[in-house]
Structure 1
Amino acid sequence: MGATVGKAVPAEGDYEARFAYAENAVLQWNRSPGIDTGIWDAAAAYTNKHLLYAVDEILDLAESRPFPPASAAARRLDNALRVAMSRMMDEFLRLRVWNASSQELRFAVEKLSIAVSANALWLAFPSTGARSSTASTVGRASGGSPSSTHGDMAALLDGEFLDELELLCPASLPVLHEIALRVIRAGYTKELVQKFTNSPCDVLDRFLSIFQVECSRRTTEVVIKRWSLATKLVGKALVLMQRQLYAQNSPGAFDALKDEYFLAITKNRILNLLKFADDFTSITSHEKLVYILGMYEALSNAAPGLLLMFTGPHKVLVSERSQEILAKLARSIRAMVASLIAKVRDDIWNTKNSVAAGDGGVGVHPLTCYTMACIELLAPHRDTLDLILASGGAVTSLSDLASRMVGCLDRVLLLEEKPMPPGDGVAAAAAGSRHHLFLANNAGFVLQRGKPLLGDEWAARRESLVERHVASYAEACWAPVVACLETAGRKPAKVAAKFSAAFDKAYERQHPQLEKKVRYTASELEQKLSELFEGEAAERSK
């Protein structure tokens, strides 16, 4: 290239010399298409203006046709023009049109990727196997104070950081005009449009990398969460990219190709997103319900904006493909809901005896926690779930689903009357009081957790159930204790001592670790009774 650049430029009228000079430059360029041998670098700065001069010479000669049509020189000219346009289109592909290297963008994407993999933004259904695990999950689902990390992530998910970024490299627009001007002039517009399909777009690719990196090593849940996040961000980024591209006030040849260009860099990436989602439409396990709901919501929310990027048959293709996948995801979600109901019902009936007995304790049973945690985790997706369930299936809404799941508890755990065990009256009374306390705690837990989700009318119906169990418990356990307060014919000190002894005995039957005292203050009695009625839920909330 150096020898060619150093040659003197031929005179205007010397067609043979002009062509030889330009042909030699272009053919050498074609033989050594290194990254540092083009007309511009990736940042749109000139690196070799002599090559551009050579391309223009070939264009001028091709238009003036100084050589006989069938001559060898004419054929050489056509070949040189083809090579020159091919190299100009390669210049287009290596130009950095979109800027994904900004520190803000890199930081946001990296932080979101790490957070979503660490499960900082999403919740899964808890396991029924361990109380501590269930309690932890229920605590998160019930709206505990969010961490600062969660707040930061929510702000990033809003996409506001994108509005502050210049995603388009303004210096690239003049170069795009220069390239398009020559390609159109040479009659290679169709070939350039075809090249658009392979055009790089670092901004979109950076967002897509959120779910593409190391997918083979990720769990299904993490991959789905990453996909949902990437889809949201791509939808937001495309709107901003299109606005910035069309806001450039530098009219030129590329303006006529902007639509085709933007369509090309968008189409394949969107179709890849849709194909990825389609691979998950056959999942029916209830354990993936929250994640598939997130995928459905991400695609449903992004689809209208994505369709604005397309026109004509491309718009029809993307629209039909999106609706097809949403319909398949909806079918999968309905199957998962049926699986969830079956799971809760089977778990409760398989542990019927231990559930009815309260597993020997008086606190909230793990199955009760699990059932209400599932309902709470679905609550943020209520609108989407109601829309999907209303379109088909036995379950018609989240409220219907919750009622069916709680109904399984009612039939086995809350409403079953436990017969008195054989033996002396004291043992029977103790067992009966523990059972009523167990039922009261579980009924109260369901009422407390279900009221915000299922409404006051549902809660009103449940309150009578809780009151009945509380009354039965009080009658079985505390009526004899209260009777000790009868003061007729007795000294107050003896009455107080007898009451404290009776209280200790009644409490000890349920919590043997009680520290015995001769007397209790009113506040101490209130605390002990509170611990009984709230059961293990009180310990979890500390």
Structure 2
Amino acid sequence: MPRKGMRSIFFKASSPPSSHHSSPTRSTYSSSPLHHTFSESLMEENIENAQSMIANWDFESSTSAKVTSLFHEDRREAKEYLKCVKNLQNAMHFFVADNSSSDKLVRAQNLMQIAMKRLEKEFYQILSSNRDYLDAESVSSRSSRASTRSSVSDTEDEVESEDELRNAGESISEVERVSSLAMSDLKAIADCMISSGYGKECVKIYKIIRKSIIDEGLYNIGVERLSFSQVQKMDWEVVEPKIKNWLNALKIAVNTLFHGERILCDHVFQSSVSIRESCFAEISREGAIALFGFPEMVAKCKKSPEKMFRTLDLYETISDLWPEIQSIFSFESTSAVRTQAITSLIKLGEAVRIMLTDFEAAISKDSSKSTVPGGGVHPLTRYVMNYVAFLADYSGILADIVADWPLNVQSPLPESYFESSEFDENPASAISVRLAWLILVLLCKLDGKTELYKDASLSYLFLANNLQYVVVKVRSSNLRYLLGDEWVTKHDEKVKQYAANYERMGWSKVLSSLPENPTAEISPETVNECFKKFNSAFEEAHRKQTSWIVTDPKLRDEIKVSVAKKIVPVYRAFYEKFRVTSRRGMGFESVVRFAPDDLDNYLSDLFYGTGVLGSTLSSSSSSPSSFHSRGRRSS
């Protein structure tokens, strides 16, 4: 019958043992007969000692050995067992060099096979019974603590004693204690089996058990194995919750599950780089590729603006975890995992670019013809600015995505929008320029929508409202840091220009109804005519503008104050100068309908978009006393 254990005689551990642990070869011993006899006696003694220990734990010949665990029952005896196996291996090296057909060699080989079966069972029992303790947190804690101690240097220390852990005091938990003991035992057994030529049996057990743990772990955190066709057929309302779950699952999988498995695998198979690489690759590769493949499926699905931010979340999460991914899956045999993660990043980046292009096109192609009541903020303005402000929150990763993606200006925009050199000279990042461009496209679109308003002053109020909303949104978000204070100042000034144009056109008739010099001497007829023109112009302006709106409180107050400063002082001077003259004539109350304080009160009611006060003012034209009562109440 062939003896498979013969392979162990020539097996070498991948990392050479320390000098005082070197297996004895023929050159180790003196060629003199005396020394040869002495060495042979030592090796025979090793076999005899191993015979006693190994037979005691042979589960085929001992009933108690079948149901008990060597490492669980007596850890000190477990140390002795491993020491006996090592000495047995030394004896085999000696006898194979001395006489490859020696009966002693055959006996030693048979004992080695029995010992390996015992250790194989122990390895399986430790892995199986400690599934809950060999989790990532416990493994990481044990690894961190162990890294502060010197590496194992002899067989006596290969199995960490409970005394050592007890000396650690309260610095470790019970879970960490059990985990640490299990890891130490697994490493000791793996080292012994690998050095004895039985690494394949050890690795097979490890792969089966730990792969099932990874698969179970991925399932427990909600990682689904989906095909592209399945994802493609799902509605976005179904896909989005899966993305949310994936984002959480990836962090747990990378930082906990795969990280812990890599630490455990590296520790258990520390003696062989090739074994720990093949082990980790086989237990993790399938699950990791499925995990990192999901974002690529999402990226390949139909693009739409509402998918932008979840796509960026996917990109950002992978990008943030990339150093850990590289470290955990650093082996050449796990390069497929790294490749899948990179592929997903590339596809997600491409999807973001497409959605940015589509978003810009959607702004430019907006064809809504309805006006906003009262010249308020257009829904397109709110939508675009909220969208762009959210994009600014992702400026870091967006900068990576658009870094090598030049901005091609193709839209026919008004010449006035290029008076500033901000796009040419401002040392802004690529994403800053692109977001500024999106806002510029919006402003151009809004400029075109002013044609929908028949009243020129209302169209300017519309522009002031919308640009003010844009500026406030920029100032109150990360856009301010991307676009800069110069951009904010420039557009603040433009808001003031729009407001000034509104005032000039909206109140020109009111101002022109009064003489340029309100205190100059004029005839009573001219005075009465001026009052009548003013009354008519003010009533008309007020009636129209009570339905207009200024949404921003600060801008609303600024416009009111500005209009009042232009009208009230001039009217007050005229009123004070000629009210006596007008009283001498007939129908004073029908000619002088407004006291100066009345004007402030009526102006204060503007820009709330109610339209009610305008109708009140209009109806009160036939009842002069109502104006005076309002003035007295409000003054």
Q: TM-score, normalised by structure 1?
A: 0.60
Q: Distance in 1 between matches of 2:611 and 2:61?
A: 96
Change (3 A) 1:413 1:51: same
Contact persistence 1:59–1:81 (CA under 8 A): no
2:462 to 418, 438, 460: 438
Which residue is equivalent to 1:470?
A: 499
Shift of 1:383: 2.2
Q: Distance in 1 between matches of 2:86 and 2:498?
A: 93
Contact persistence 1:274–1:325 (CA under 8 A): yes
Q: Distance in 1 between matches of 2:501 and 2:178?
A: 71
Contact persistence 1:85–1:183 (CA under 8 A): yes
Change (3 A) 1:288 1:308: same
Contact persistence 2:58–2:115 (CA under 8 A): no
Shift of 1:376: 0.9
> What is the identity, as a one-letter code, of the residue corresponding to 1:279?
M
Change (3 A) 1:501 1:75: closer
2:367 to 350, 371, 386: 350
1:442-478 CA distance string (max 9 Å, x none) = 1111122235142233334423431222112223445
> What is the identity, as a one-letter code, of the residue corresponding to 1:321?
Q
Most deviating of 271-280 and 198-207:
198-207
Say yes or no: does 1:212 pair with 2:223: yes
> What is the identity, as a one-letter code, of the residue corresponding to 2:316?
E
Which residue is equivalent to 1:336?
A: 355
Alignment of 1:470-489 (within 5 A): 470-478=499-507, 480=510, 482=564, 483=567, 486-487=571-572, 488=574, 489=578
1:88 to 118, 122, 126: 122
Shift of 1:441: 0.9
Say yes or no: does 1:173 pair with 2:192: no
Most deviating of 82-91 and 448-457:
82-91
Most deviating of 441-450 and 411-420:
411-420
Which residue is equivalent to 2:319?
A: 300
Most deviating of 479-488 and 491-500:
491-500
Which residue is equivalent to 1:499?
A: 599
Change (3 A) 1:378 1:211: farther
Contact persistence 2:377–2:469 (CA under 8 A): yes
Q: RCO higher in 1 or 2 (8 Å CA, sep ≥ 6)?
A: 1
Alignment of 1:225-264 (within 5 A): 225-237=244-256, 241=260, 255-256=270-271, 261=276, 264=280
Say yes or no: does 1:314 pair with 2:333: yes
Q: Distance in 1 between matches of 2:632 and 2:447?
A: 33
Which residue is equivalent to 1:511?
A: 610
Contact persistence 2:457–2:505 (CA under 8 A): yes
Which residue is equivalent to 1:275?
A: 293
Q: Distance in 2 between matches of 1:520 and 1:175?
A: 96
2:439 to 384, 406, 415: 406
Q: Distance in 1 between matches of 2:68 and 2:430?
A: 61
Change (3 A) 1:362 1:494: closer
Change (3 A) 1:436 1:323: same
Contact persistence 1:372–1:446 (CA under 8 A): yes
Change (3 A) 1:288 1:407: same
Contact persistence 1:413–1:439 (CA under 8 A): yes
Say yes or no: does 1:22 pair with 2:22: no
Change (3 A) 1:496 1:90: same
Shift of 1:520: 9.4
> What is the identity, as a one-letter code, of the residue corresponding to 1:256?
S
Q: Distance in 2 between matches of 1:290 and 1:77?
A: 65
Change (3 A) 1:393 1:59: same
Q: Which one has a bigger Cα radius of gyration?
A: 2
Q: Distance in 2 between matches of 1:237 and 1:462?
A: 49
> What is the identity, as a one-letter code, of the residue corresponding to 1:180?
A
2:193 to 164, 183, 194: 183
Contact persistence 1:362–1:438 (CA under 8 A): yes
Which residue is equivalent to 1:457?
A: 486
> What is the identity, as a one-letter code, of the residue corresponding to 2:322?
A
Which residue is equivalent to 1:161?
A: none
Shift of 1:298: 1.7
Q: Distance in 2 between matches of 1:345 and 1:478?
A: 33
Unaligned segments of structure 2, at least 5 residues = 1-47, 96-100, 142-174, 409-428, 511-537, 539-563, 581-591, 617-628
Unaligned segments of structure 1, at least 5 residues = 1-11, 31-36, 106-164, 422-430, 526-542
Q: TM-score, normalised by structure 2?
A: 0.52
Which residue is equivalent to 2:25?
A: none
Change (3 A) 1:331 1:194: farther
Q: Distance in 2 between matches of 1:254 and 1:38?
A: 25
Alignment of 1:134-149 (within 5 A): none
Shift of 1:350: 2.2
User: Secondary structure at the residue paired with 2:299?
Assistant: coil
Contact persistence 1:345–1:408 (CA under 8 A): yes
Shift of 1:329: 2.0
> What is the identity, as a one-letter code, of the residue corresponding to 1:364?
V
Change (3 A) 1:311 1:462: closer
Q: Distance in 1 between matches of 2:121 and 2:65?
A: 8
Q: Distance in 2 between matches of 1:17 and 1:188?
A: 19
Which residue is equivalent to 1:286?
A: 305
Change (3 A) 1:100 1:50: same
Which residue is equivalent to 2:398?
A: 385
User: Secondary structure at the residue paired with 2:298?
Assistant: coil
Contact persistence 2:308–2:355 (CA under 8 A): yes
User: Secondary structure at the residue paired with 1:308?
Assistant: helix
Which residue is equivalent to 1:490?
A: 579
Q: Distance in 1 between matches of 2:199 and 2:300?
A: 43
User: Secondary structure at the residue paired with 1:398?
Assistant: helix
Q: Distance in 2 between matches of 1:276 and 1:381?
A: 21
Contact persistence 2:50–2:85 (CA under 8 A): no
1:92-136 CA distance string (max 9 Å, x none) = 43134534699xx9xxxxxxxxxxxxxxxxxxxxxxxxxxxxxxx
Q: Distance in 2 between matches of 1:504 and 1:381?
A: 42
Say yes or no: does 1:372 pair with 2:372: no
1:461-510 CA distance string (max 9 Å, x none) = 423431222112223445535546513212799523652575378658x4
Change (3 A) 1:45 1:367: farther
Contact persistence 1:225–1:295 (CA under 8 A): no
Alpha carbon RMSD of aligned pairs, Å?
A: 5.3
> What is the identity, as a one-letter code, of the residue corresponding to 1:323?
I
Contact persistence 1:183–1:192 (CA under 8 A): yes
Q: Distance in 1 between matches of 2:332 and 2:136?
A: 30
User: Secondary structure at the residue paired with 2:451?
Assistant: coil
Most deviating of 198-207 and 320-329:
198-207
Q: Distance in 1 between matches of 2:264 and 2:474?
A: 50
Most deviating of 362-371 and 392-401:
392-401
Q: Distance in 2 between matches of 1:29 and 1:271?
A: 42
> What is the identity, as a one-letter code, of the residue corresponding to 1:467?
K
Contact persistence 2:190–2:269 (CA under 8 A): yes
Change (3 A) 1:415 1:76: same
Say yes or no: does 1:39 pair with 2:69: yes
User: Secondary structure at the residue paired with 2:375?
Assistant: coil
Say yes or no: does 1:192 pair with 2:202: yes
Q: Distance in 2 between matches of 1:412 and 1:259?
A: 63
Q: Distance in 2 between matches of 1:397 and 1:490?
A: 65
Shift of 1:181: 4.3
> What is the identity, as a one-letter code, of the residue corresponding to 1:39?
S
